[in-house]
A and B are shown apart, each in its own frame.
Chain A
Amino acid sequence: MKGLTYRASFNVDLQSSLRDGYSPRSIVNKADLNDNSGSGFKVNTNGLALLHESILTYSTLFAQHHSFKATAVVASQSEDNNSNQINATGFPNDATQNEALQLALTRTVTSSRSRTRLDSYLARINYGYKDKYFLDLTARVDGSSKFGANHKYGLFPAVSAAWRIIEEPFAKNISWLSDLKLRGSYGITGNAGGLNPYQSLATVSASGSDYNINHTFVTGINPSGIANPDLRWEKSTQADIGLDISLLNNRISIIVDAYQKTTKDLLYVKGLPLSSGYGTITGNFASLENKGLEFAVNARILDGPLKWNVSGNMTMNRNKVLDLDGGTTQERFITAYSILKVGQPLGVFKTYVYDGINQTGDAILPGYDGRLGGLKVKDINGDGTISAADQVITGNPNPKFIYGFSTNLSFKGFDLSMFLSGSQGNDIYNAARLSFEMPLGQRNQLAGLANRWSPTNPSNQYVSGFQAGRLPVTSQVVEDGSYLRCKNLTLGYTLPRIKGVQQIRVYVSTNNLFTITKYSGFDPEVNTYAGSNTAIGIDNLVYPQAKSFLGGLQVTF
């Protein structure tokens, strides 16, 4: 049948890893050497991911002006993960290291396996009239094994339409306008996030409960957690309206978008009362709103022998927590210093307000274990004692806007390009500084600590050396995380063509050449909880991005 196509794909992803180590007897102090000296381990993990996708499309053009395309997709993916671990202690000698763990005096073994599956079904109709009006209808059903028995499937419909105004007779004659298109869309999307499997089920497992009975170590089987049979898809309803404009023979193009997105049933890991006997539960406990504007401009400024393109984009997003726990909670800590609070952006920082250092003669308020030479915090409610009520919102990790800018210049064989990106108005909780400014005598410290507080050196910045870990969570480490970074700068030269070779280009390039920021940490672009959708803007010692310089030769045949 004409216009009908079928495409199928199958992907198999096999992963296998071995992590092993050995701590030899030879490094043990001779006096301490005994039967239990020497230890080794092996951890085998393997994963099998299968993905199948079938796409059936039918497209046709009828009555001259009507284009019609129908698409049906069936996709299924599964992931199977296995992990086996052996720890062994007490080797007779170092000869076999960890390659014969059966020689060890004691061995502990753990193994686990998990499997997840995601099935998707999609139907889409694209309709166009005269290359001027477009309408797309999509319906998809996704099913994930991770959700509760009655909540595995989610239906996610979407509709979008576009009007190419440039095709209208009144617009066609405007000489400086080369394209004009108005777009709109409305739809629901689903998210299963980084959810772990089995959380909707009531299960028990041998997960580390044990005791010594009759001089023997025995392991127990304990509840894995509180089952959440209501675990379901996180759903976002998004409306978007956009305009694409091209001017002056496509020399300048502009894209503008405005969107509003409401997320219901936000998936997150919530702390349970310790009195329940459990730590956390995963579920759909919040709703959230995001709205914003996006701009992008692309301009071919020079188009002769000297070519110069520039482009820029900017996104302004505002988010707000709409409710928590079905309206029963107003505020909830997600880390020791960041919260979800109804009416506030995601993950704002809630801390004491830093007020310098307790100087000789200062009255040290009770309630936060403050001491002479230690951090001083503000008594916000003025009740003469420092309590949880004195913790206020002291920072917002969400930027006012993020932006990017790139430029490409080429002349004869030379090309020069640069890409800048930045973020403005976001705060970072520099948790690493707490560690680097807490003199415990066991780790590296910031150089500034040489100037730490003492009765004779009343520093107002660095605490004295006798804090024994006593640094309250304060706004001292909430910093402006705005930055502008040169992500890439490249200079290249393409050699004149020679026979048999299509192109030879030499270039020098640098990544992360410079960063303009007031942030005192290593890298304003990091986030310790990179996988979390709620704990954001936290720098607790993540390896910073490297500045790199590259030289290269590209030969294309």
Chain B
Amino acid sequence: MKKILIPILVAFGLASCQLDETIYSSIYTEAFYKTAADAEKGLIAAYDPFADMYSGPAGTLIADFSDDQTYPRGVVGRNTLTLFTYDINYTTQKSNSRLNEAPQQIWTSGYDGIEKANWIIAKVPAATMDETRKKQIIGEAYYLRAFYLWMLTKNFGDVVIKTTPSYLQADAILGKSPKADVYKQIYADLDLAFAAGLPSYPAVDKGRPSKEVVNALYAKAALYNEEWQKALEKAQAVITSGKYSLMPDVRNVYKYDQEDAARIENMWAYEVDPVLPGRSHQLTGLCGPPASAGPEYGKTTFGSMFAYQSFYNSFNPADKRRLLLDTTYVDKNGKTIPQRSITPITTEGVLIKKYQDPVSTIGLIPNIPIFRLADMYLIAAEAEARLNGATPLAYGYINTVRKRAGLPDLQTGLSKDALVDAVIQERAWEFFAEGDRWYDLTRTGKFLTVIPKAVNSVYPVRNVTAKNKYFPIPQDELNANPKLEQNPDWK
């Protein structure tokens, strides 16, 4: 009997140490973030949620379908944004598998990005690598964390601030902080990003933020938080850096064959390329005519997003930016299709020409601009006006943008409020279909008066209410987070 027992006991002894898991296809977290290559790979992971946010792109659509400039064809739940009929569960987008076009995507990807940036910020300082690049990598992570937090707060108001990674489950459940604290965190992160030695344009990698882009985000965040002095300083810092300039022809900012040249103005964008595998977005397909009928717009287009005729009419005919809209298109046979035949949903279809890509069969060329130099001029104009009234400086900033658009200088002698309104109107013409206008309307409260009037035959009634200033925090978050409460207006 002993003879048999011994091997069994030996087997017992051997086996007990063999339950440790071998992780063939992954890496222990504690063995990662050690080298330059690790840090670079970890940082790419922090960019990935930015791409998820702009693939739909929820980053522009939730704003642009809500505003008074552009609207969707009423399919797959897009019209819930235009009609303000979304619920806290985003049920309609969810049942159409279109959460990637819904506010929930901002929430999900925003925090996905923050978590991945948090790992870089927590771990890369201990990596063994070139110190200059190490500082930059951590700086990019601070920038990205600030950007994600800003995307969250501008859409949801008071949100969760998370500055350390989730090592354990207990770290994963946090309550929200007031908007003021969120902006404090954004500024703190941007200060660190600015001090990280990021390169300027044109040395900066395409897709990464330059040192000036850090200030651009700072300026815009401060504008949204109504801290005019900060907004002015940071916007001026970008303008006076001399690293960027406006493209002489505004149309070239969006032209598929001018993309790299346009980086002189287009400071930071969501990057897509005609490569596979690669990142992409839907704007080219949404904005082109139905059934891929207009070759100038793209190889595959659906006719799913248009500008309001009233917005088209608001332009001075001399404004070159109106050329980025169109009321006719040329079909595959070279025939000009009249406005009444652009789309079956209305006889007043107005096409958007900011994302045209006539050449790509796989992937896309047109990036989605996030920060442009023109934005800095208009932030500076508004902040200066709000601080000091209708000064020559404020006029100078807005007129720079008007001049490039082919418009005469703004009428002189405006009151402070009139100038501020003029800047906000200028922003409308400059940034349509770039996910911008809606936030101008919500931060100023104008959405309550502007939206009900922004109607057409497709959307004859738009019942916007005060609670639509922010989107509701997704029900999926509330279901899993006992510490978090819904926005008061949405309870």
Q: List residues of A whose CB falls within 8 A of some B CB.
A: 1, 4, 6, 32, 34-36, 54, 56, 58, 72, 74, 76, 89-90, 106, 108, 111-117, 119, 121, 143-146, 149, 152-153, 197-198, 200-206, 208-224, 226-229, 270-278, 281, 283, 328-329, 332-333, 336, 367-369, 387-388, 468-473
Contacts and interface: CB of A to CB of B under 8 A. Distances in A.
A469 B275 contact: no
B85 interface: yes
A273 B24 contact: no
A220 B47 contact: yes
Interface stretch (B201-209, B219-227, B387-395): B201-209
B27 A204 contact: yes
A221 B107 CA distance: 22
Given A223-B116, A277-B116, 11 more contacts: A143-B19, A211-B279, A212-B272, A221-B27, A226-B172, A274-B476, A276-B162, A277-B162, A278-B166, A387-B88, A470-B77
A226 B15 contact: no
A210 B279 contact: yes
Contacts of A152: 19
16 contacts: A56-B4, A74-B11, A115-B22, A117-B19, A119-B18, A201-B28, A209-B44, A216-B273, A220-B48, A222-B45, A226-B167, A273-B480, A275-B477, A277-B113, A277-B162, A369-B87
B interface residue count range (under 10 / 10 to 19 / 20 to 34 / 35 or more): 35 or more
Interface string B249-286: 00000000000000000000001110111110000000
Contacts of A76: 11, 15
A146 B77 contact: no
Nearest to B104: A274
B278 A212 contact: yes
Contacts of A217: 273, 275, 277-279
B466 interface: no
B474 interface: yes
Nearest to A208: B48
Contacts of A149: 20
A529 to B, nearest CB: 18
Interface string B43-58: 1111110110000000
A54 B166 contact: no
Top 6 A-B pairs, shortest CB-CB distance: A277-B115, A220-B44, A276-B172, A220-B45, A222-B45, A273-B481
Given A74-B11, A275-B162, A144 B48 contact: no
A56 B5 CA distance: 9
B206 A214 contact: yes
B91 interface: yes
B299 A146 contact: no
B35 to A, nearest CB: 12
Given A114-B25, A226-B169, A276-B166, A369 B20 contact: no
A275 B111 contact: yes
Given A277-B111, A388-B88, A213 B275 contact: no
A113 B89 CA distance: 37
Given A217-B279, A273-B172, A369-B87, A36 B361 contact: yes
Interface in B6-47: 8, 11-12, 15-16, 18-30, 32, 38, 41-47
A106 B5 CA distance: 59
A115 B21 contact: yes
Chain B CB within 10 Å — which of A54, A216, A275, A368 has the most? A275
A200 B26 CA distance: 13
B396 to A, nearest CB: 35
Contact of A275 (B29, B174, B208): B174
B116 A204 contact: no
Contact of B25 (A205, A211, A212, A332): A205
A47 B116 CA distance: 33
A204 B32 contact: yes
Contacts of B91: 368-369, 470, 472-473
Contacts of A89: 276, 362
A215 B476 CA distance: 35
Chain B CB within 10 Å — which of A200, A218, A277, A283 has the most? A277
Contacts of A209: 44-45, 48, 116
B76 interface: yes
Contacts of A471: 95
A270 B173 CA distance: 13
Chain A CB within 10 Å — which of B15, B16, B94, B481 has the most? B15
Nearest to B46: A220
A229 B74 CA distance: 48
A74 B8 CA distance: 7
A146 B48 contact: no
Contacts of A4: 1
A474 B71 CA distance: 30
B482 interface: yes
Contacts of A198: 21, 23, 26
B4 A328 contact: no
Contacts of A223: 29, 45, 115-116, 119, 165
A223 B44 CA distance: 12
Contacts of A470: 77, 91-92, 95
B348 interface: no
Given A36-B361, A217-B273, A468-B74, A202 B30 contact: yes
B479 interface: yes
A220 B41 contact: yes
A328 B223 CA distance: 41
Contacts of A206: 41
B277 A210 contact: yes
A210 B207 CA distance: 12
Given A89-B276, A274-B111, A367-B87, A145 B8 contact: no
Contacts of B361: 32, 34-36
Contacts of B278: 212, 217
A432 to B, nearest CB: 14
B112 interface: yes
Contacts of B159: 275
A120 to B, nearest CB: 10
Chain B CB within 10 Å — which of A145, A203, A211, A270 has the most? A211
Given A221-B38, A369-B91, A143 B115 contact: no
Given A114-B24, A119-B18, A204-B42, A469 B76 contact: yes
Nearest to B172: A276
A347 B80 CA distance: 31
A214 B47 contact: no
Contacts of B275: 106, 212, 215-217
Contacts of A368: 87, 91
A251 to B, nearest CB: 46
Interface in B178-207: 205-207
B114 interface: yes
A213 B207 CA distance: 5
Contact of B169 (A58, A283, A332, A472): A283
